[in-house]
Amino acid sequence: MLISGAGRTLANLLQVIRQGRLDLEIVLVISSKPGVAGLDIAEAAGIPTRVIRPRDFASVAEYSTAHYAVIEQYGADLVLMAGFLRQLDIPQAWTDRVLNIHPSLLPQAAAYAAGKGMYGIRVHQAVLAHGDTVSGATVHVVTAEYDSGPPLMTVEVPVLPGDDAAILADRVFAAECDLYPTALRHYMQLHPELLRE
């Protein structure tokens, strides 16, 4: 799992796994930043962690290569992004095996609420500024361009009169907590080769 911050999605997935509602093992958490709360969540759960900082690499290609080298050491079959704020190349061996959750509806909101620099509260501010009456979240396959891969599953949430970005963010995150596990179960059904005995 790749993170850059608080690790709320990581905590949610760990809870769903513990409850037996998702047959998945998180074998490694990589953060693009040191000292973030998500690393503490992983360590408390006994999950190995690594920090791979983009500033330590000369290019996206080198940064990406460093990630896959570590990921493959841990025998991971799938890479899950959750609040990971960096771009990664997707080599052929990992095509369709890197997933992300984005806090807006894609591709509908791609022009104003997705792409480089559009994360967290900024996404919800953009949705409100656009005048949308519906927002939501999308689990999508990651490609080389930010937030442009094919959607796997979406969930809609209403934008209500009086919403500000923080209120909308909370409503969308609550929906994400069900969406990501559901999308992962669906993905595993489509890719039974990833299931282990």
User: What positions carry a catalytic annotation?
Assistant: 102
CB 85 within 8 A of CB 122: no
| Amino acid at the residue 37 | A
Specify the length of the chain in residues: 197
Q: Which of 149, 1, 148, 144 is nearest to 60 (CA)?
A: 144
In this structure, how many other beta carbons lie within 10 angstroms of the beta carbon of residue 137? 26
User: What token pair was written down for 190?
Assistant: 């489509």
User: What token pair was written down for 8?
Assistant: 């709320």
Q: Cα(61)–Cα(131) distance, rounded to whole angstroms?
A: 38
Residue indicated by tokens 């490694």: 28
Q: Is the peptide bond before 192 cis (omega within 30 degrees of 0)?
A: no
User: What token pair was written down for 123?
Assistant: 């996404």
Residue indicated by tokens 């930010």: 146
